[in-house]
Chains A and B, each alone.
Chain A
Amino acid sequence: MLRFALLRILGAIPTLFVVIAAAFLLVHAAPGGPFDSERVLPPEIEKNIRAAYHLDEPLPQQFARYIKGVLQGDLGPSFSRREYTVSEIISDAWPVTFLLGAMGLIVALSFGIVFGLTAALRRNTVVDRLLSGLAMTGISVPVFVVAPVLVLLFAVHLGWLPASFSGGTGAGRFILPVIALALPQLAYIARLFRASMIEVMESDFIRAARAQGLRTVSIVRHHAMKPALLPLLSYLGPAIAAVLTGSVVVEQIFGIPGLGQHFVNGALNRDYTLVLGLVIFYAALIIALNLVVDLLYGFLDPRIRRQ
């Protein structure tokens, strides 16, 4: 088991390197530079700026400099925010994104399971059709539509909640962003869980339980729930990635000081170091999450371990 884990960790290093190299090439290949503007800089000033950020060096030399820094844990200075380093920006922002993502995931899971279960047990009734319809809507309507509508309704017209994260000081400021972030996941989980619950409820062992005269509540609670939850476990990985990346739009709309808006601004501003730093951070995170899922599967399924 330990060997399996070690091998996987070692295998992640080249993956990460390839990701960094590809990202480095891509950001530098994008037309335009970090210091371009309609207010074009005189050549001597542009030269000074490029020299200050080592942009005047050949690309391979810049890459070597960058990798050397990364190995020492230094992601470099941000091009667009002079007084901050990329590491500082990321360490300031990730807790907010993670908190938001965790809350979104919890809401999506809890409500998704309840709705999925209800729909499965009332299959082909009005309730089922209503819930399934809502779930389909939840999947199809993008966040940048849902979020402003939520704001219009709950903040502008009803005045119950703040329209933005910075507009309130209490915990209430999390509610609308969390709902906006959770909605597509919630809808997907509800559909997934409905399908898996229906399948389980039709299996032989449930029929046997029914034949014994057990009530539906008891069957669901003691027999059907656990096997029906299994597909959700495999979906957790993509769901986590989706809430973390999905927060890009939500953060912009609600003014949340998280990672997502740095990604957008970094890319638009050609802030090479910031974009690269975030790519490394996200890549390492997703590799780590995959590793955890793999280990969990290895733990659950002895056949994987033996390979």
Chain B
Amino acid sequence: MQRALPAIKSIGLRKWALLLAGLSVCLVLAGCGNDRHADAYSNVLKRSLGPEPETLDVHAAISLQAAIVLRDLGEGLTGYSASGELVPAAAERWEVSEDGLTYSFWLRPEARWSNGEAVVAEHFVYSFHRLVNPSTAAPYAQHLIDIENAEAIIKGDESVESLGVTANSEFELSIRLARPVPYFLKLLAHNSAHPVFPPAVEAHGNGFARAGNLVSNGAYKLEDWTMGSMISLSRNEHYWNNANTAIDRVQHFVVPDETAEVNRYRAGELDITETVSSQMFRKLKEERPDELRISPFLQVYYYGLNLTKPPFKANRKLRIALSMAIDRETIVESVVGRGEKPAYSWVPPGVSDYQAMTFSYASQSADERHATARRLYAEAGYSDKNPLQVEIRFNTSESHKNVALAVQEMWRKVLGVEATLVNEEFRVLLANMLAREKTQVFRSSWSGDYNDANSFLSIMQSDNPSNLPGFKNEEYDSLMSRAANQMNPEFRQLLLEEAESRLLAEHPLIPIYFYVSKHLVSDRVVGWQDNVLDYHYSQHLRLKTND
């Protein structure tokens, strides 16, 4: 021990020196203070994304977060206005053939990439080829599957060049469809249909979307991406509508924690939040009623029923009884409580050119509903002595748990159902839902990619991979395929509405509520307009100091 002492002595001294150095560093840090107010009056918009986007490659992106940033960076042939109306974007005008199969687009000759080069029709051809190319493995390739030959190309049966997209001249593009798609122009506004700059992709491969490599055609260009922290964008000086873009810089912050998001907003570090923490909602409603933006949104929260196995297979009465026993008003008011609307249909209200159908019992009183529910439950073969025992599966979250607890209690009270709650991590639940082995009742949700009833109704077709309950109904499929081939918008609407009525009558799932978009928007942000798609392009916003 004695021999070791000199060594310890030297280590000890060094440590003390280190400690002192550390202390002084801390003091310096404290002295530096912070300059978070430095940007307060400059032209920088600070938005929260929530979780981090996975990529800025328009063809690889799948998350809502990536889409938010990509809407600032690029634009497709079509786009959306601040109020959510479909408007011309990279294309200044278009014509559709009478059979609805050929679209001709005329690009804006003044449209430029962020490096100053013109956006030409060939760039769109290249990009659509890349989207459907099997080696790109684009998750949203199915979005444009109705373009001539797209399906065969994605399967690897045809060459990419056979895709029905051609550049007729420098600025004229034509797209041929295999079948008419009334909402095709809306699909073209999605980020998967944004163009990529071919030389950048050729030079950098999958790395073309990194800061420094990415060439974009939207109102902003990518400056930097600090993973886990922030994506910063600056004005694309070459953008055709640059004169009407007010904000110079946009910072998209990564804030996965909802409480941290509200705190950062309150500390003045964010102008716009991506969501509003449910725990703090009531308080914020009192504290900042004018900054809270709640608006209907195309997303439905539902309980799916596994139709491939008992007890729900071939037991429509039981499915209806369970749906009727749920008091949706209580759930939206007391359990979720952020302005959500009770759901009595599958397609949310607010979808354009569509009149959402409702369950026949939507207007009945609670007592009437419960009486019918009890009768159907008995007819389905269940009673107090022989109650239904069922599992409700949901992905781990406080809010999903509360809804499940409420439903469990409502089913017990009205029908005497013995439901057990099973919470699973999101991807475990997904795997179980897809396997359709363990699941009985499961929580899920669906959001529309485009403002058309088809975005919701199509997933319940028997061959749709997102049809999680395993709903198969020939009549429904036939109505849907007739609607898909119907060129007359009024007839098409009638067919879709009829299809939804069929769907609701069968009760393959229990819609519980329609989501709302929830944001805190600082009063220094001008030009924010609520819309059902919840799209808010930074180029449509201004900061008060701009005036």
Listed in ascending order, the chain A residues whose CB lies under 8 Å from chain B are 30-33, 35-45, 48-49, 51-52, 77, 80-84, 89, 92-93, 103, 106-107, 109-110, 113, 148, 151-152, 155-156, 159-175, 178, 225-226, 229-230, 233, 251-258, 261-262, 265, 268-270, 299-302
Contacts and interface: CB of A to CB of B under 8 A. Distances in A.
B430 A106 contact: no
A33 B430 CA distance: 9
B430 A163 contact: no
A171 B33 CA distance: 7
Range of interface residues on chain B? 35 or more
Contact of B263 (A83, A148, A173): A148
A171 B4 contact: no
Given A166-B230, A166-B253, A175-B30, A31 B260 contact: no
B34 A268 contact: no
Contacts of B180: none
Contact of B269 (A41, A113, A148, A163): A163
B227 interface: yes
Closest 3 CB pairs of A and B: A32-B427, A106-B22, A172-B34
A166 B4 contact: no
Contacts of A84: 210, 227
Given A103-B22, A155-B263, A162-B36, A32 B154 contact: no
Given A41-B465, A48-B137, A82-B60, A36 B12 contact: no
Contacts of A233: 11
Given A49-B137, A110-B19, A113-B19, A83 B62 contact: no
B227 A89 contact: yes
A41 B260 contact: no
A36 B427 contact: yes
Contacts of B260: 148, 151, 163-164, 252-255
Given A113-B19, A148-B263, A171-B28, A83 B33 contact: no
Given A48-B137, A169-B35, A155 B267 contact: yes
11 contacts: A32-B430, A32-B431, A36-B427, A83-B206, A84-B227, A109-B19, A155-B264, A155-B267, A163-B267, A166-B269, A167-B269
A161 B229 CA distance: 17
Interface in B205-244: 206-210, 226-230
A165 to B, nearest CB: 6
A77 B54 CA distance: 13
Contacts of B8: 226, 229-230, 300
B362 interface: no
A151 B269 CA distance: 12
Interface in B465-481: 465-466, 468
A110 B20 CA distance: 8
A299 to B, nearest CB: 7
A170 B32 contact: yes
B26 interface: yes
Contacts of B209: 82-83
Contacts of B42: none
B332 to A, nearest CB: 21
B203 interface: no
Contacts of A178: 26
A82 B36 contact: no
A89 to B, nearest CB: 7
Nearest to A53: B137
Given A83-B209, A229-B12, A255-B253, A170 B22 contact: no
Contacts of B263: 148, 151-152, 155-156, 163
A106 B34 contact: no
Contacts of B206: 77, 82-83
Contacts of A45: 137-139, 141-142, 154
A50 B117 CA distance: 36
B5 A226 contact: yes
A257 B226 contact: yes
B262 to A, nearest CB: 9
A182 B498 CA distance: 63
Contacts of A82: 54-55, 57, 60, 206, 209
Interface of B: 3-5, 7-9, 11-12, 15, 18-19, 21-23, 25-26, 28-30, 32-36, 38, 51-52, 54-57, 60, 62, 134-139, 141-142, 145, 154-156, 206-210, 226-230, 251, 253-257, 259-260, 263-264, 266-267, 269, 425-428, 430-432, 434, 444-446, 465-466, 468
A37 B229 contact: no
B369 to A, nearest CB: 29
B427 A268 contact: yes
B12 A52 contact: no
A254 B228 CA distance: 10
Contact of A83 (B55, B134, B141, B445): B55
Contact of B267 (A40, A92, A156): A156
B267 A39 contact: no
A207 to B, nearest CB: 19
B228 A258 contact: yes
A44 B51 CA distance: 28
A38 B139 contact: no
A255 B22 contact: no
Given A43-B465, A45-B142, A106-B25, 15 more contacts: A40-B434, A40-B466, A82-B55, A83-B210, A93-B228, A106-B26, A152-B263, A163-B266, A166-B251, A167-B269, A170-B32, A171-B28, A172-B33, A225-B12, A300-B4
A255 B228 contact: yes
A164 B264 contact: yes
Nearest to A164: B264
B57 A42 contact: no
A45 B153 CA distance: 11
Given A93-B228, A164-B255, A48 B33 contact: no
B257 A253 contact: yes
A172 B4 contact: no
A257 B32 contact: no
Contact of A148 (B36, B259, B427, B446): B259
Nearest to B133: A48
Nearest to B20: A110
A59 to B, nearest CB: 17
Contacts of A40: 434, 465-466, 468
Contact of A170 (B33, B210, B428): B33
Nearest to B205: A83
B22 A151 contact: no
A198 to B, nearest CB: 19
Given A32-B431, A52-B135, A172-B34, A44 B154 contact: yes
A257 B23 contact: no
Nearest to A151: B263
A48 B22 contact: no
Given A45-B154, A82-B55, A170-B33, A52 B427 contact: no
A159 B444 CA distance: 40
A163 B21 CA distance: 26
A248 to B, nearest CB: 11
Nearest to B428: A31
A257 B264 contact: no
Contacts of A162: 34, 36, 267, 269
A172 B60 CA distance: 37
B62 to A, nearest CB: 6
A257 B229 contact: yes
Max chain A C-beta neighbours (<10 A), residue from B23, B206, B427: B427
Contacts of B137: 45, 48-49, 51-52
Nearest to B53: A81
